[in-house]
Amino acid sequence: MNTQRVLNGRYELGELIGRGGMADVHRGVDARLGRTVAIKLLRPDLARDPQFQARFKREAQAVAALNHPSIVAIYDTGDHAVPGGPEDTVRVPYIVMEFVSGRTLRDLIRAKEVSIDQAIDFTLGVLSALEYSHKAGIVHRDIKPANVMFCEDSSTVKVMDFGIARAMADSSATMTQTQAVVGTAQYLSPEQARGETVDARSDLYSAACLLYEMLTGRPPFIGDSPVSVAYQHVREIPEPASTFNPDVSPALDSVLAKALQKNRADRFQDAAAFRRALRAARNGVAVPDLPAGEAPTDPNVTVPMPDRTVQATAYSLTGAKFLDDSPGGRLRTPQDATLGDDRALAAQPAPVYEPSEADELPLGLPHERERTPRQKSRRRTWIATLVIFTLLVLAGGGLWLYNMMNQPPPAVTKIQVPSVAALSESEALQLLYRAKLNPQLNRIPHDTIAKGSAIGTVPDAGTLMEPESKVTLNISDGPSSVKIPDNLPGRTEAAARDVLRQAGLVGAPTTTMANSSSVPAGIVITTKPAPGQTVAVGSTVELVVSTGKVAMPELRGLPKAEAEAALKNLGLAMQVREVENSEVEPGKVTEQSDPVNALVDQGKTINVVVAKAPAPTPTPTPTPTPTPTPTSTPSAGRKGSTEGALAMLGGLTP
């Protein structure tokens, strides 16, 4: 078995099902309990950082004590060694979690598949999980659509990723060791954005942002950067959800207005109150408004007042002020000097001509007074000056207006397309968004770049483009064809299936069992198609697994040497017993202990009976027949006696 893909000798890693900012999530199998799990692994490049390790372990500690149907359960934790360089290893921690089959709310919102009733139901499920975690003293601090999953089979929601969760008693619950605000900008509570201590009401604000996005398809605040979005959370009031979705009722608008208050004291004080208000809003009951005239209780929230200095400056620049500064001062009284020009014009009645001493008629001339030459000259000089000044002002204003109307528009600052080659899909998208470009995904097959990694952009990196221009981001969909791995024979079936998954192939649902004299039981013998052949990605590959047995051959009638060779080729041993047999040729097998075609275990000893020739039968000695003695002449008698004696000695002839 491939030990690099098995954690703690128990958890078999499968395909990658998710990737976050600091960890990868794999589908896995608990070999001991035989159940499917999700395994969250800290990225090896972050495993050396004590801060990331502490945050990773804090997630396990935070959720391990929580047992709620709307919170993803934690089963086990541990770490395993990963090569970090020459003669160096890194201990990478992992968390074994409940495997949840479903879709995140982020995917549902992007697909526009969330109705108003579903948005309320999803939020009620999230609030149920938060109510339970808050009672346990845990604040999530990162409620957002990507951290909530909807399970269609059970119609429930699951809250995930307690990676930045903290206990409510922790005074540094909003800041990391580097004093950076944690969380996602679109769902930050105002106190999180200001770096203050968080509590349960901070999670309720984020849950309200989640509900707002499900109802409208967009978060409450949108900005060019996370800083601008965080500033809006602190200072600005979001538009009612009904502005973007007319189907949202006034009751739901009132719930969101209450939950999105800048001061946490003005929001719902716990998740249970939020849930009750949502159920009431579903029935058309709105949340009561704040009393009329009540000022915000948050000292950091101020109402901007009009700047009279700016108004007065604008009034002066229009050229209207010089009428008040004329030598006669007919439109301005001395007591108005302390007021702004706008207030003086509003409060002063229409000017009334009052004759002065200089305007009295001379005696004897009923209609006009005789003026001295000096007075006439001064008057003409003043009139000429006033006319010239007026003409200059009009000419300057006309010239300025002409230049403004005919001024060419300022050149748009172009943006250089950044290089995204070899980055992951999420990293490439973030880089393009930060460059103020509009990326469009395009997935294409590639034989050398791993699936999910960026190939490049169209136009190429370095091209100058205007902001918000569309850029095609090519993402590798993996190779279109792949070779069946050569290292499948000799592996267990489970390990071979894992190798096939990594290669982009699918193991056949049924396994072919075959007899083998050399491959142990349960080990892969070969595949169909054979290893090394090229097939399309996603093809089904059949595994041929050894039964650990061989079929018994026919040995009877074979010579002893041939029978022994046949068994040896099958990895079997032979024990011989010789039995006399007059009907079978000596040295041939007459019996075998196992029948033909029977499946026997590898290495088994087979008993056979071999024929041998019977022992030879002894030849009996014939008994001689006695011969009677004839009566003859002596010579004849001697002769007969001699012949008889020879006959008794064996019938030899003299």
| Positions marked active-site | 142
List phi, psi (to 5°) of 109: -65, -45
CA distance 626 to 648: 8
* CA 163 to each of CA 21, 143, 144, 372, 525: distance values in angstroms, whole numbers, following the listed order: 11, 11, 13, 94, 45
Cis omega (within 30 of 0) for bond into 529: yes
Cis omega (within 30 of 0) for bond into 459: yes
The DSSP string of 235-255 is H-PPPPHHHH-TTS-HHHHHH
Q: And the tokens for 108?
A: 């549902």
Asked if residue 476 lies in contact with residue 451, where contact means CB atoms within 8 angstroms, the answer is: yes
Rg (CA), the chain: 51
Q: How many other C-beta atoms lie within 10 A of the C-beta of residue 612? A: 13
The DSSP symbol for 65 reads: T
Q: In Å, how far from its chain's centre is CA 351? A: 76
List phi, psi (to 5°) of 529: -60, 165
CA distance 214 to 224: 21
**Closest-CA residue to 143 (of 165, 112, 172):** 165
CA distance 59 to 21: 14
* CA 348 to each of CA 270, 491, 641: distance values in angstroms, whole numbers, following the listed order: 57, 100, 199
CA distance 334 to 345: 13
CA distance 432 to 420: 8
**Closest-CA residue to 502 (of 27, 170, 7):** 27
Q: How many other C-beta atoms lie within 10 A of the C-beta of residue 572? A: 21
Q: Between β-strands 540-546 and 506-507, what pairing exists: parallel, antiparallel or unpaired?
A: parallel
Q: And the tokens for 230?
A: 């965080």
In sequence order, the 6+-apart residues with CB closer than 8 A to the CB of 239 are: 220
Would residue 331 be called left, alpha or beta, if left means φ above 0 and alpha means ψ between -120 and 50 degrees? alpha
**Closest-CA residue to 520 (of 485, 491, 552):** 491
The DSSP string of 162-208 is -TT-EETT-TTTTB-TT--B-S-GGG--HHHHTT----HHHHHHHHH
